[in-house]
């Protein structure tokens, strides 16, 4: 787990956070820990409760149970306006008024939040939208709308940025651009919480991952901690895979995988035991190795295969 | 106030301006056409022209027009992620609501201006009336704009809660019918505490119709103005309280 430095080291903490709609729990018992200055990848299949959680963090939706603290202060309806001044957000679809140009939308945010020209120019340059500001937003591509939405969220120079599926509907180049942007923002000291149902979209950017399934936290921690959660299969290369599999199946889940025998859930001691038993039974062994396991496999495993 | 200034920016290229221009012009054209068809006589000059244009306009079209404007100014918030963005900023619910009502007040004032200019133009060019529209009707116009405020605030609240464009407009039509019933049954006290009734009452000032005496009296004007401002304050406060408790799903 992350964030052992107490509440001050964390931008967001929640305790037993839950939301129920019509008797159905959409989010349940959520204990989020988002360290300051990190990119927090909030992952989960569609419908797992990511948007509802993010809406609760912004107090757009009131929790049924639990509490939220942002920058150490409780986030409630009575306190939200003060805290929202430090938070930029983009939830679900990108905002913006289609009948206005990009420039007019930025001016609108400027007036609303009483920002100066420099803040607006910086935000627009950060998302590289400065060449498209005089076009009406209804004529923007989805990628441009997402970037404008991020610029609108960034203009107030927030300490925390909450982005819900910002790469949704983008092409690979657009996804890569958002990825680089998030990294750049985090390098600038902003805490970024970003959700996605696609692991590889944020896997390389996120320093901390939170994985949600059916409204519950399945995992929270670093990428390495996530990989360590699951033991990769052992592959034994042998000229007699059928005979070897018949033997090992007596003690461990086994299947033949080409010229190898694949064994699941084996620790180091178990692996040594299996190898010595096979050698004792006169089966030649050419090699023993752990299968390369991707984060994706672990994610699939945690979300019951619904993740990707 | 930032939220009010931001709201005015949203009016750019908005359909609201079409309502502002077309609705009062239709009232003026209808009033003038009725006069021409019935022989072109305006027995009491400007007063008769004013009656022919404003009485019907004040009973139904004005409330429906204000409702359409409220639906239009809220419609943009129901698109995409605008609701989330609107409520995800540190702007208070009260300021959000006041911003919308302020925009509607300006649009209502613009609509009344178009109506007055239309009456003057038609009076001079079509009926060659002497002089200009008498001063009391300018005062009545200001009162009508103020009486639009409670309807604007109420319709703004309805359009905030309903994604539908037409449903709040239908409510305004029913409200206007209720207002007319109250005025026709001469329940003036009740009429001025119901926004739609108050709007009808304001447009009848100086006309002698229903509960009106036929002259613009200080008492009648004061009653409408006090009721309009009080009702607006109550409805705005109520709407802001609802918005503050609202979950954005």
B87 CB near a chain A CB, below 8 Å?
A: yes
Report the alpha-carbon distance of residue A165 to residue A174 in Å, rounded: 13
The band of A82, judged by pLDDT with boundaries at 50, 70 and 90, is: very high
Burial class (CB in 10 A: 0-12, 13-18, 19+), A298: buried
Mean residue pLDDT of chain A comes to 89
* Exposure class string for A7-39: b at 16+ Cβ within 10 A, else e: eeebbbbbeebbbeeeeebbbbebebbbbbbbb
Interface of chain A toward chain B, CB-CB under 8 angstroms: 55, 58, 60-62, 77, 81-85, 87, 89-100, 104, 107-109, 111-114, 145, 149, 152, 156
pLDDT tens for A119-175 read 999 999 988 899 999 999 999 998 899 999 999 999 999 999 999 998 887 788 888
Answer left, alpha or beta for residue A198, where phi above 0 means left and psi between -120 and 50 means alpha. beta
pLDDT tens for A34-79 read 999 999 999 988 889 999 999 999 999 999 999 999 999 999 999 9
How much is the average pLDDT of B238-247? 95
Residues above pLDDT 90, as percent of chain B? 78
pLDDT at A25 over 50: yes
B16 CB near a chain A CB, below 8 Å?
A: no
Give the nearest partner residue to B6 out of A95, A98, A111, using CB atoms. A111
Q: What is the dihedral of CA A282, A285, A286, A288, to 10 degrees?
A: -170
CB–CB contact A77 B90 (8 Å): no
A–B: how many Cβ contacts below 8 A? 89
pLDDT at A5 over 60: no
B18 CB near a chain A CB, below 8 Å?
A: no
- pLDDT at residue A8, rounded to an integer: 55
Among B1, B9, B72, the strongest candidate for a mutation testing the A interface, having the largest count of A CBs within 10 A, is B9
pLDDT at A7 over 70: no
Q: Considering only alpha carbons, which residue of chain A is nearest residue B80?
A: A93
Neighbouring CB atoms inside 10 A of A281's CB total: 11
pLDDT tens for B95-105 read 999 999 999 99
* Contacts of residue A292, Cβ cutoff 8 Å, sequence gap at least 6: A232
Q: Is the pTM of this model over 0.90?
A: no
Q: Considering only alpha carbons, which residue of chain B is nearest residue A79?
A: B90
CB–CB contact A95 B82 (8 Å): yes
- pLDDT at residue A233, rounded to an integer: 86
pLDDT tens for A232-241 read 889 999 999 9
| Tokens standing for residue B24 | 């009062």
B225 CB near a chain A CB, below 8 Å?
A: no
Task: Select from B50, B21, B204 the least CA-distant residue to B132.
Answer: B50
Edge-to-edge strand ranges of the sheet holding A254-257: A254-257, A260-263, A234-237, A287-290
CB–CB contact A87 B82 (8 Å): no
- pLDDT at residue A15, rounded to an integer: 97
Q: Considering only alpha carbons, which residue of chain B is nearest residue A154?
A: B89
Task: Select from B54, B25, B42, B55 the least CA-distant residue to B124.
Answer: B42
Task: Select from A165, A148, A23, A61 the least CA-distant residue to A97.
Answer: A148
Give the nearest partner residue to A81 out of B14, B76, B92, using CB atoms. B92
């Amino acid at each position: 787990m992350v964030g052992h430095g107490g509440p001050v080291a964390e931008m967001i903490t929640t305790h037993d956070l839950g939301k129920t709609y019509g008797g159905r729990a959409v989010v349940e018992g959520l204990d989020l820990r988002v360290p300051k200055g990190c990119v927090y990848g909030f992952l989960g299949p569609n419908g797992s409760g990511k948007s509802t959680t993010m809406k609760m963090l912004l107090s757009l939706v009131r929790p049924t149970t639990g509490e939220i603290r942002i920058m150490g202060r409780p986030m409630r309806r009575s306190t939200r306006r003060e805290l929202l001044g430090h938070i930029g957000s983009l939830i679900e679809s990108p905002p913006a008024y289609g009948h206005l140009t990009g420039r007019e939308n930025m001016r609108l945010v400027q007036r609303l939040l009483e920002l100066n020209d420099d803040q607006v120019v910086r935000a627009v340059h950060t998302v590289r939208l400065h060449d498209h500001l005089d076009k009406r937003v209804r004529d923007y591509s989805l990628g441009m709308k997402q970037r404008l939405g991020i610029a609108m969220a960034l203009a107030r120079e927030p300490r925390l940025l909450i982005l819900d599926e910002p790469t949704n509907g983008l092409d690979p180049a657009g996804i890569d651009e958002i990825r680089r942007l998030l990294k750049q923002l985090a390098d600038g000291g902003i805490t970024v919480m970003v959700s996605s149902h696609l692991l590889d979209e944020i896997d390389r950017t996120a320093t901390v991952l939170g994985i949600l399934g059916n409204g519950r936290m399945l995992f929270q921690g670093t990428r390495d901690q996530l990989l360590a959660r699951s033991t990769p299969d052992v592959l034994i290369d042998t000229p007699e895979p059928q005979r070897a599999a018949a033997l090992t199946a007596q003690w461990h889940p086994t299947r033949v995988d080409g010229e190898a025998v694949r064994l699941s859930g084996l620790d180091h001691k178990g692996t040594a035991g299996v190898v010595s038993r096979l050698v004792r039974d006169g089966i030649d062994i050419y090699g023993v190795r752990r299968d390369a396991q991707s984060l994706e496999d672990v994610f699939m495993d945690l979300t019951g295969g619904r993740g990707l | 106030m930032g939220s009010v200034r931001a709201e005015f920016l949203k009016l750019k290229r908005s359909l609201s301006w079409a309502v502002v221009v077309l609705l009062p012009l239709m009232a003026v054209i209808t009033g003038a056409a009725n006069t021409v068809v019935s022989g072109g006589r305006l027995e009491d000059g400007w007063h008769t022209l004013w009656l022919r244009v404003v009485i019907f306009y004040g009973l139904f079209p004005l409330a429906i027009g204000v409702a359409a404007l409220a639906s239009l100014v809220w419609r943009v918030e129901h698109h995409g992620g605008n609701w989330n963005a609107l409520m995800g900023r540190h702007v208070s619910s009260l300021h959000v609501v006041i911003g919308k009502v302020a925009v509607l007040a300006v649009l209502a004032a613009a609509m009344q201006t178009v109506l007055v200019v239309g009456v003057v133009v038609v009076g001079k060019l079509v009926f060659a009336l002497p002089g200009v529209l008498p001063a009391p009707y300018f005062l009545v116009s200001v009162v009508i704009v103020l009486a639009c405020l409670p309807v604007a605030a109420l319709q703004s609240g309805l359009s905030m809660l309903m994604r539908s464009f037409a449903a709040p407009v239908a409510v305004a039509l029913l409200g206007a019918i209720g207002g007319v019933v109250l005025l026709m049954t001469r329940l003036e006290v009740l009429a001025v505490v119901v926004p739609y009734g108050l709007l009808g009452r304001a447009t009848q000032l100086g006309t002698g119709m229903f509960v009106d005496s036929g002259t613009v009296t200080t008492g009648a004007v004061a009653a409408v103005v006090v009721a309009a401002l009080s009702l607006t304050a109550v409805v705005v406060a109520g709407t802001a309280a609802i918005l503050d408790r609202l979950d954005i799903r």
